[in-house]
A and B are shown apart, each in its own frame.
Chain A
C-alpha cells in the first residue's frame, strides 16, 4: 500500500474505505473467535472446515468469513456468529459446521444449534438478547468481533484511526491532554491513577530535545486474567492508535509495547499491525508531513510477575534484571535510560481513541463520577459463563456474577469473589451489593487490579485460596526486599501448616502480624499488596481458618490432609463411601455391606432417604463433572445382601455391671443410641409416645419412598435382649426424668424429635381444611386417615411439601394437587429428583407465589388468595429474593390446604423438658446441649437429634444417637466426656478395579423409577434398584481419593524394609 504523505491522503483513504463498506455487506458473514482461548477450544478445526466448505461449494462470492480475536464468550467457544442476523451458534462440533453455513446462506436459523439457556433451554435468536451480553457495555471489546486483527483496513472500516485523524487535524497536545483529563479516565492497570494527570506531568518534564518514551504495559501476569492479551490479539491497532496519540500528547518519539513471551499470538498480531501502520505512514518519521516522529517497538518480557511494576519494567526494558527501585523519582521524570517515560496499561491506551473520537464529555457519561468509562474483567472460576466482560464502572458485583456470569456452575452456592489477582482480596457474597470501582474495592480490602474476577463457591476453601496466591507470590517476588521475599515464604509456610492440620491459634496471630508488617515495610506494589490474600480472607473468613486449626476440618472439603476422602469426611456417620464403592466396582458385595453396616445401623433406610451430603462434596462433582451416585449404590448393596451376614462386635467384658439407660423417643437417634449402648453391654429402655417405634421415619416419610417393611426389618434387626421398647409412654405424662432416675436408670437420652409445623401467620389460617404437613402426613402414615379432599394446595418448597403433595395425589378423594412456592424452582430446597418425580406423577408446581389470605365460608376452607412474585436481587445466601408484584393478586379455589413451610420441635415437649429443669432455647424451641458432648445442663441427661437441632436429616439423627452412646458410656465409666477433634483419613487399601475402556468417561447413572401410571395408584416404592452392570459402571466412576493415603500391603512392607 502506498505510504500516505499528508493528512488529506489519509482522510481520502478513510472516505474510500468507508464508502466501499456499504456495497460489500449484502451477503452474510461468518465470524469466528480465534483468540488463544478460542484456538484452545478448537476453533482452528472449525476454521479449516469452513474454508474447505466454502471452497468446495464455490461460495466465495456468496458468504463472508472473518477470523477475529477473542470476543469474550469463552465458555461457548468455539462459536460462530452469523452477521448480519447476529445468531450465535455455540460450542460447535466440526460435523455441525455445514448446517450453520447453510442456515446463514439460506437466511434461516438452525434452531437446534442456536444458543440456549443452559438450564431452561430457552432459545436466543440474536447475540444481543443473550443475558451474558445484555448487561454489558462493550465499547472496547465489542470491536473485536468486527475486526480481523491482521487487517488494518478492517480497523479503519470500523472507525479506526478516526481519532488519530482528529489529532492530526488539530495538532494540539494540550487539547488531547485536556480531553483525557476531562474524561476522568483512570489507569486500568490497577492503581487507578488519572491518565490525563500522568500525561500532563509527562508533557511538562524533560529538557528540549531529550528523548521521551511511551510504554504500553502488557505484562499481564495475574492467574486468571487475560483481557490485555485479548485486546492485543484482537485489536492491536487500537493500542497503536492510543500510543500514537499519547506520544503526540507528551512529545515522545519512541514507544515500546512490553509484552510477555507467553503471549505469542499477541506478539505476532502486534508486529503485523506495527508493520502495516509503518507501511501506511502512520508510524515512522515525519508522520503525514507534520514533522512528528513516532515509532513503536516490541519488548518481550520473560514472564516475571514483578515486571508489571513500572520501575521493574523499565529495568527490564533496559536489559537489566526486573527489580523495582524506590520511587520518587517517578518514571515520568527518570525512566528508560534516565529519560521521561510514560507507562500506560493496554486497556488504558485502548480507551484513548474512544475518548478522542466521541469526546470527553460523552465518554464521562458512562460509569459513575470519579470512576468513568468501562472496564474489562475476566470472569473465571466457578461460574457458568466464563469469559471477558466489559461493564461500566460502578456496576454491582452481583450484576456481574449473577446476571452476566449466570451464577454458580454447579449446585454449590457462590461464596466469594476474588478481585485483582494475587495482590487482590476476596469479597464475600454478602457484600455483592458493592459497586465495582477503584475506591469501593480498596475500602473492602481488595483492589481493582488489572481486572481478574475469580468466582468461588462453597467448594472452595479460602485458606487454600490464600495459600495458592501466596505460593505464587513467594515465587514471583523479586526478592530484593527481605520482608517481601521471606515474609511471603513464611506466610505460605504458616498457611501450609494450617491446611495440613498442623496450625495453631498462635500461628494465626503470627500470620496476621506478619501480614501487616509485610504490607508496611516493602517497597513496591507487589510487596505492599502481597498480604491482601491473607488479610482479606482473614477479615471475611476467619471462621474457616479457625475450623481448620481447632476442629481440624476443611468445610469446603479441599485441603487434602484434613479431608482425606470427602465422601467419608462429609458423612455425619463417617461412612467409608469410597471403600464400599471400590468393593462394588470389584464385585465384592458382602464386603461392601460390612463397610456400610459398620458405620450405619440403618443402611436400608439411608439408602432410600438420606440427603447424601457425600454426593455434594464428591470430587467427581466438585471438579466440574457429576458426582458418583453413592446413595443408589448403597441401595444396590442393601437390596442384594442379607443383613444377617453382619455380626456386630460386642464389647461385653468392659461393662459387666450392665447399667440401665433410659432413652426417650424411638426415632433414628434413640434406636441408634440404644443399639450402640447394647453392644457395650448396657441395658437400654426406649420410651415412645407412638404405638410403633420408628419416629419420623414412620410418621413423616411416605411409604412410596421408604416402604414400611424396610423400616420394620431394620428396627427388628437392632433390637436384642439388652433393649426394651415401651410404647405409648409420653414424657411428662407417663414418665418424668426424675422418675426415671428414681427407677434406677443411670442416664437419660432425650431424642423426642421435632413434630410441629410452623404456622403461616396469615389471615384465616385456623379454619377447617387447613393442615400442617406434619399432621397431614402423620394421620395418613400412622392411622391411614386421608385428609385430602378435592382440590389440594400445598405451601412450601422443601421435602415435606413435596411429600405431602405426593401423598395427597395418592388419596382417592383428591382431584388435583398444586404446590405453591415463593421463589423459583431452582431455589427449592427439596431434592431435585423428588420434585421431578412429583411433576411426573401429575403434581402442579406454581412457583413465585406468596399466599396472602385463607378464604373460608362457614369456617370451612374455600380458597387461597395469592400474589405473584418476581425474582429480585440475590440475598446473602446467593438465592434471589422474591419481590411481590403489586396488583397481581389472584384467588385459587381449594378444598384442602397443607402448610409445609418449616418444622419446629413440639412445643409441648420443650415445655415438658424445661419443666424438668432442662435448659431450652425458646426462640428456636430446641433443647440446649454442649454440641461436643450432647450434655444438657442436668448431669446424666443427654439430648440429640431434631430436638436439639430443629428439623434435620435422618443421617444427622443417627449420628447424634451414635455420639450419645459414646458419651453415655464415658459418663457411666467416669471418663472425661470431651472428644478432641481428629482427622479421619482412609486407612484400608482396596485394589482398584480395572476399568473397561467402554466404561471410561460415562456419565452419572439415572436412578430407575417405577412407571408413572403404576405409581399414582398406590404406595409401592418408586425408586428401583440398579442392575449389576449399572452399579459396576457407576462405581467405576469414583475418582478414588483414598488412594492418595493408602498403599498395598507389599509396598508398605517394602517401605518398612527400606527404613529398617
Chain B
C-alpha cells in the first residue's frame, strides 16, 4: 500500500512537471489584443496566422520575434486578433504541429506560418493534404508548390559576432554555447569561428553544446566552466538555455563590477537580459529578423504574390541578420572594423562557411 501511494505521489509530480514545463509567463501575449482596431481605416479581408514550436510565443527568441512581426503586420493593415485577422497557436509537443496547422487552415487563414525547423515534417504533410492552403515555414525547406520556405544566413551575423568577440577579448579565450547540434545552430557556430579566425587565429574558442534549448541551468554551469577557464566573452545560440549564460555572467559582474565579462545574445536584441543594476553584460546580439521575414511574406501574399514553392534566404545584405546596437559596449574604433568586415561580406569578398570544417 505504501508503495502504491508513493507511486501515485511520484507520478503526479512527474505529470505535473511535464505539464508545467510547457507553461510560461503570459506578459507578451496580451499585447496583441490591444494592437488591432486602431491601426488603419481601410481594412482588408486578408488574414494570417502562425503556429509556434514547443518554445512558445514568449520564448524571447524566434517564436516571439515572428509573433511580433505578425502583430506589426496586423497593426499596419488594420487587422484584429482572431478569425479573419491574425492569430497564433502554441504547440505543447511535437505531435501537436499537424493539429495546430490544420486548425488554422480550417479557420480560413490565407497564410499560415510554421515557425522553426521542428515543423518541417508536419508542414510537408499538411501541404500535401491541403493543396489550397498557403503555408510558410521558417528555418527549413519544404519542397511543395504551396509552401514558401524561409532561411537565414545565420553564419553571416555570427561572423560579425566572432569579429567583435575576437577584437574585444582580453584573455584571448572565447566561449560558444550551442543548443542542439542541428544545422541552424551549426551555421551560427561556423560563422562565429570564421569571424574569430578572420581577426586573430590565435584566439581560443571553447565550443560546447548543451543538447537542449530549454535548460537554463545547463547553460549556467557551462558558462561557469568557461568563465572559470579564463574566457571573457561567450556567444550563445541556445534559446532558453542561453538565459543561464546571462545569469552566470550577471552573477560574476555583481560580485566583481570590474570583471571583464560579456555575453553575446542571439535572435533578438537581448540587451534587457544582460542588465544587472547599472551594469550590463550584453556586448551585442546577433539579430535574426524573423519578424521582417514574416511581414515580407505576408505583404507579398496580400498582394497576391505568395512565393509558394520558393526558398527565400535573408542575409546581411537584406537586413535579415545583423548585429544589435551595443549601446556603447563596443568602442567606436572596433565598430568601424566590424563595419569593414560587414561590407566585405555584403560585397561577397568574404564567403562565410555554413558548416564547421
Indicate whether A and B interact.
no
Q: B residues engaging A (CB < 8 A)?
A: none
